[in-house]
Amino acid sequence: MTSANKSWGGRFSEATDEFVQQFTASVDFDQRLAAFDIEGSIAHATMLERIGVLNEKECKAIVDGLSDIREQIARGDFHWAVQLEDVHMNVEARLTDRIGDAGKKLHTGRSRNDQVATDVRLYLRAEIDVISAELIRLQTALIDLAEREADAIMPGFTHLQVAQPITFGHHMLAWNEMLARDRERLADCRKRVNVMPLGAAALAGTSYPLDREFTAQLLGFARPCANSLDAVSDRDFAIEFGACASLIMMHLSRFSEELILWTSAQFGFIDLPDAFCTGSSIMPQKKNPDVPELVRGKSGRVFGHLFALLTLMKGQPLAYNKDNQEDKEPLFDTVDTLKGCLRAFADMMPHVKPRRSVMLEAAKQGFATATDLADYLVRQGVPFRDAHEIVGKAVRIGVETRRDLAELTLEELQALSSSIGDDVYSVLTLEGSVAARDVLGGTAPKRVREAAAKARQSLQD
């Protein structure tokens, strides 16, 4: 047995079981909220002075005491006590030890329920800003690479089969577009995170004349939560962040899969920097793309946290329940995992080196200009379905004779259609095929450079 917690122990006639105390405590993981808890408490104390609950001397003692505790925590000198359960009671108990009865007045008009909800929102808002900055860093690397490799020809795939020639720069901008949408989703999620629960108290609000709008202003929130029950009980903002994080990780996992394929001997499209790869303990020739492989694997971890948060909330009646203590570890790990993956990619991508000659040779395989031949026939007045059949016959000749379409003779092609002239070879080259895609969103080098410039500008807007 242990002694009863002094913050709420008056109701109890016996102490909490020692195992239960350990089992229900959250201080081992929620101490990462300490800086945000102190930020919220300073704002709350400032508001309490404004409405006359605290005098100037008491408010100054609280603010100075909390500032000293924040510095102590930052230095690693703070002792966290499990018997005080969580970050909030540890900070408050230390404050009261330092400044006396004034510290006991800090909790006036609030509960740990609205306090923790506020702390988590402050924490997540700050982390969203960090994650958004990492996304911008990765997008910048992709845009730089796209501009540099705007005319580097590679095969484009559908069903992992060669489909049409594209440029490496165009491919990089495809990933940039996905990440741009991810960043937009995060920004939209931040709007719903940026609402303040403080002042909702345990669930019903408080009888003290709190100035919640003033507190929200001090903390940089857009507004206070409109309903006290909702403010303390829902974690949909954390779930929404988990969904945003899962989408980002899904995109990074797909990207990782391509990088892994492209570094293999069977593709050989790119070189990854040695600093982001490892070797084998038994096979000295190996250079393993460990960073992309780990990112691909970590996507499942983030997906799992999203499902855990959904499951956590789905059975809870209003208002606050102890279940919500379980929101923090999946949220914290989602943040840490996502930041780590984005940092790895943002550090790695500027040093990726495409092998132009290998990609060009690969694009010559699989009859990548077949669609260009069909388009050529359509421009000569041949109905598309007939053109499709003619090109299919040309491909069959190429397969049987192991030649690309550009290697077929004019006589062979004209035997399939009298609409084919000697100008056909201009569309059968890879360079001609790529240049012909000169439309908005197309793979022509000119369009890639325009798109890269526009994408770079959007990062600055």
Q: How far is it, in rounded angstroms, from Cα 113 to Cα 198?
A: 9
Question: Is residue 213 a contact partner of residue 284, using CB atoms and an 8 Å limit?
Answer: no
Q: How far is it, in rounded angstroms, from Cα 350 to Cα 345?
A: 9
* Closest to 219 measured CA to CA, from 31, 42, 35: 42
* Cα atoms in the Cβ-side hemisphere of radius 13 Å centred on 358: 13
Of all helices (H) and strands (E), which one includes residue 223? strand 223-224
Catalytic site residue 44?
no
Phi, psi of 6 (to 5 degrees): -70, -15
- Per the listing, tokens 């195992």 go with 19
Q: How many residues does the chain have?
A: 461
Catalytic residue among 3, 280, 357, 458: 280
* Residue ranges in 267-327 assigned as alpha helix (H): 290-314
- Per the listing, tokens 């959250």 go with 26
- Per the listing, tokens 């230095």 go with 75
Of all helices (H) and strands (E), which one includes residue 434? helix 430-436
What sign does the CA torsion over 370, 373, 377, 378 have?
A: positive
Q: What secondary structure does DSSP assign to 126-194, as a single string?
A: HHHHHHHHHHHHHHHHHHHHHHHTTT-EEEEEETTEEEEEEEHHHHHHHHHHHHHHHHHHHHHHHHHHS
* Closest to 330 measured CA to CA, from 309, 299, 300: 309
Q: How far is it, in rounded angstroms, from Cα 228 to Cα 200?
A: 4
Q: Hey, is 311 helix, strand or coil?
A: helix
Structure tokens at 112: 């740990």
- Per the listing, tokens 């122990």 go with 9
Q: How far is it, in rounded angstroms, from Cα 66 to Cα 396?
A: 78
Neighbouring residues of 219: CB distance < 8 A, sequence distance ≥ 6: 39, 40, 43, 118, 122, 196, 198
Catalytic residue among 159, 207, 281, 418: 159
Catalytic site residue 159?
yes
Question: Is residue 390 a contact partner of residue 417, using CB atoms and an 8 Å limit?
Answer: yes
Structure tokens at 113: 């329920």
Question: Biggest alpha carbon distance in the chain?
Answer: 101
Q: Which residues are catalytic?
A: 159, 280
